[in-house]
Homo-oligomer: A and B are copies of this chain.
Amino acid sequence: MTTTPQPATVYGRPVTTEGVPNLYEGTSVTQWVPPIPGIDNLGISSIDTFAVPGVGEYTVPFDGFVRVVRSEPTSKEWVNAEVYTNLIEMKMVGESEELGRITVTLNPECLSTGQIRTPFDPYAGEGPSAKACRMAVGAIFDMPKLGMKLINKEPIILTIDDVRSIPPAGSPGKGQIYRMLPLHDSRHLEDSPVAYVTSLRFTMGGYITAEKIAAV
């Protein structure tokens, strides 16, 4: 019984937030143990590169928070456990001389979903039983200086490798963008893209306080 409108596009498995506790700064994280469900309130930073055809390419650092709800793990054993996630809130703010202030939030038309599981192709250098984390995200990049909100109509795939704890706080991650990810003007979604994300690297932060979230 949710009161929020159903998003038109659902990238994976929905996860309920009902009865799931919010977890803030001070929550302990244990390696190699699948945790019980929670809503992780985490810091995040990101460095995104935007290409605007005929204008230029701009690299912008962002800082902010995410709120991620996690499902019951499918197993109590780390190696067998799958955990499903939904990104329920995000706000990141960046500033660039050319593009001005940019605020990134979730696109309410999409349910941004993810999962953590043992990969089928373990990498050399990953810890034993390390897991892979992935999330498909629909975002809005609000750029008031340009008078535009930019929207991705293909999800941005955010990945973290070598995951040894849930949440993978402190881990570096990547947006799996192959050459370019199109961004559309929110007022003209059926038109050609007006810009592209060409690179996205991020770092998952640790648990933060409700005050820090409110201050972003």
Q: Contacting chain B: which of A23-31, A40-48, A90-98, A114-122?
A: A114-122
Do B12 and A9 have beta carbons less than 8 Å apart?
no
Chain A contributes a number of interface residues (CB within 8 A of B) equal to 40
Please tell me if the beta carbons of A192 and B13 are within 8 angstroms of each other in the complex: yes
Instruction: Check B8 against A180 for contact (C-beta < 8 Å).
Output: no
Q: A182 an interface residue at 8 Å Cβ cutoff?
A: yes
- Give A122 Cβ to nearest chain B Cβ, in Å: 10
B11 and A154 contact, CB distance less than 8 A:
yes
Number of copies: 2
Given the interface contacts A13-B191, A51-B120, A120-B196, does A178 sit within 8 Å of B176 by beta carbon? yes
A interface, CB within 8 angstroms of B? 8-14, 51, 53, 57, 74, 82, 84, 113, 115, 117, 119-121, 132, 134, 136, 153-155, 157, 159, 176, 178-180, 182, 184, 189-193, 196, 198
Given A12-B193, A120-B198: A157 touches B178 (CB 8 Å cut-off): yes
User: Once the chains bind, are A153 and B11 in contact (CB under 8 Å)?
Assistant: yes
Q: How far is the CA of A184 from the CA of B117 in the complex (A)?
A: 16
